[in-house]
A and B are shown apart, each in its own frame.
Chain A
Amino acid sequence: MESGLIERTTAERSSADLDCWMQRYQQADPDAPGALVAALSPALLRFFRSQVSSREQADDLLQDTWLRIHRARHTYRPGEPVLPWVYAIARRARVDGYRRSRRIAVHETTPHVLPEPPAQGEPRNTLPAFETLVACLPDAQREVITMLKVGGLSLEEVARATSSTVGAVKQKAHRAYERLRRLLHADAEDLPEVHNEVQ
């Protein structure tokens, strides 16, 4: 099972494949959970990584999301797009996770974490990392940009996942690009300072 899982991790899944696997998941096919987990988890983890600061938190959110998906699997209607269904659940898991961590943070004092600079000797990219870049955006805009560019969702799918309309998604994305344009124009060295200014 393990080797199959690793092989499947790299496999690209089309929308029709995902729909097929979801139907098999509903019919309790034991291969279906592994196929779906392998196909969807990398994009989901990237979605969480761009929204939360720590890798551990992103891993927790990923596991929480899959448990929620498992409990809500009967609400998937065959033939409907899978990605908005999955991302709507993931988005909710992230919101709940954020609230939990905020409650914990009230009782704990943690130093403000800024994006880490690249290690010495590491080839430096002229552009900042995606997470660093989108970290400067407000939550709603960051979410939309991440779903569009990291999750690979269409405007219609993002609108479905965020319980919004296509017009509202376009507006958020447009504002996000305007803000990114301003931030990118600043020197990459100054990005953390710009980040602080924005926040």
Chain B
Amino acid sequence: MKCNDINRALIEGAVALPLTPEARDHVNNCERCRQLVGAPGVPVSEASPSPATLLQIERRLVADLRPVQPIAPKRYFFAYLVAIFICVVAVGVYRIGAFALAVMSPLQAGAILGALAVSTGLLAYSLVNQMVPGSRHRIPPALLPLGITISLGIAIAVLFQFQHEQNFWTRSWGCIRAGTPIGALATVPLWLVLRRGAILSPIVTGAATGLLAGLVGTTALEIHCPILDAWHILVSHLGVAVLGTMAGFFLGLAAEGSKTMRRRA
């Protein structure tokens, strides 16, 4: 047994008294491990709350006690978020038209819409978990928006060709102007769903919600816009999602700042 094995046993809570013969041999011969095994057992000093403090907390909670309905199961919220996504994309495409499906190959259409669907599913699942403190996260929520944006960027770069488009900025600006209001439209119902939970980190949740709303605009543009230049799709279609992420991030930052100021006051 080596020092690393003792570490692993400590981390997994496997170090219990009496030690296994192998562990005991190692601990007896290794001064550092002997101290390490003993250290976490050292009690934390003066760590008991006073009965007066406990009573004060209890009284404050009891004074405002009324029955509450536990939050609905995850699958309901997941379904709400996905339904909002689909409905707003449908409304957006209905308004601006679906011209891209006719010019994209089946592979391009299937792959890009599939990638957007997977991204939406991952974001919705993450947001559902962020609504409830202590939920299990398969992917750290702080990394998810960045990961999704990079993955979509790679998918676009692989699926579409980089061309020299004329009037690049004019056309790009047109797409951003068409996609951003569709994304903004999605934020209202998304917020109405999310506010039913307890958002612990407004910045992370804001960025994820902004990205989800932005992806609504991106998806509508992917179905609408017949320009297949990779630069155009990256800048103006995926750009809507990036704008949404940034807006959500800064709104979350403002919300967190105002919360801190309120508590300080």
Partner of B32, one of A30, A83, A133, A181: A181
Q: A2-B55, A181-B32 are in contact. Are A76 and B70 (CB under 8 A)?
A: yes
Partner of B136, one of A73, A103, A160: A160
- Closest Cβ of chain B to A1, distance in Å, is 8
Q: How large is the interface on B (under 10, 10 to 19, 20 to 34, 35 or more residues)?
A: 35 or more
- Closest Cβ of chain B to A12, distance in Å, is 14
Q: Are A74 and B69 in contact (CB under 8 A)?
A: yes
Q: 0/1 per residue, A1-32, Cβ < 8 Å to B?
A: 11001100100000000000000001110100
Residues of chain A with a CB closer than 8 A to B40's CB? 130, 145, 149
- Closest Cβ of chain A to B20, distance in Å, is 18
Q: How far is the CA of A100 from the CA of B256 in the complex (A)?
A: 11
Q: Are B67 and A28 in contact (CB under 8 A)?
A: yes
Q: Are A173 and B11 in contact (CB under 8 A)?
A: yes
Give the size of the chain A interface in residues (CB under 8 angstroms): 82
Residues of chain A with a CB closer than 8 A to B12's CB? 155
Residues of chain A with a CB closer than 8 A to B36's CB? 177, 180-181, 184
Q: A42-B47, A73-B68, A155-B12 are in contact. Are A100 and B140 (CB under 8 A)?
A: no
A150 beta carbon closer than 8 Å to chain B? yes
Q: Residue of B at shortest CB range from A38?
A: B54
Q: Are B134 and A129 in contact (CB under 8 A)?
A: no
Residues of chain B with a CB closer than 8 A to A71's CB? 198
Q: How far is the CA of A103 from the CA of B166 in the complex (A)?
A: 51
Q: How far is the CA of A5 from the CA of B139 in the complex (A)?
A: 40
Q: Are B68 and A74 in contact (CB under 8 A)?
A: yes
Residues of chain A with a CB closer than 8 A to B73's CB? 77
Q: Are A28 and B64 in contact (CB under 8 A)?
A: no
- Closest Cβ of chain A to B258, distance in Å, is 12
Chain A binder among B2-10, B117-125, B168-176, B228-236:
B2-10
Q: Are A148 and B39 in contact (CB under 8 A)?
A: no
B18 beta carbon closer than 8 Å to chain A? no
Q: Are B200 and A92 in contact (CB under 8 A)?
A: yes
Q: Residue of A at shortest CB range from B40?
A: A149
Q: How far is the CA of A83 from the CA of B48 in the complex (A)?
A: 18
Q: Are B198 and A131 in contact (CB under 8 A)?
A: no
Q: How far is the CA of A180 from the CA of B43 in the complex (A)?
A: 16
Q: How far is the CA of A174 from the CA of B7 in the complex (A)?
A: 6
Q: Are B61 and A127 in contact (CB under 8 A)?
A: no
Q: Are B132 and A77 in contact (CB under 8 A)?
A: yes
Residues of chain A with a CB closer than 8 A to B3's CB? 181
Residues of chain A with a CB closer than 8 A to B43's CB? 130
B35 beta carbon closer than 8 Å to chain A? yes
For residues 1 through 60 of chain B, which have their beta carbon under 8 Å from a beta carbon of chain A? 3, 7-8, 10-13, 31-33, 35-36, 38-40, 42-49, 51, 53-58, 60
Q: Are A163 and B141 in contact (CB under 8 A)?
A: yes
Q: 0/1 per residue, A73-108, Cβ < 8 Å to B?
A: 111111011011111110010001001100110000
Residues of chain A with a CB closer than 8 A to B71's CB? 74-77
10 A-B pairs whose Cβ atoms sit less than 8 Å apart in the complex: A26-B69, A27-B67, A55-B46, A75-B71, A89-B200, A100-B260, A127-B35, A159-B136, A181-B7, A184-B35
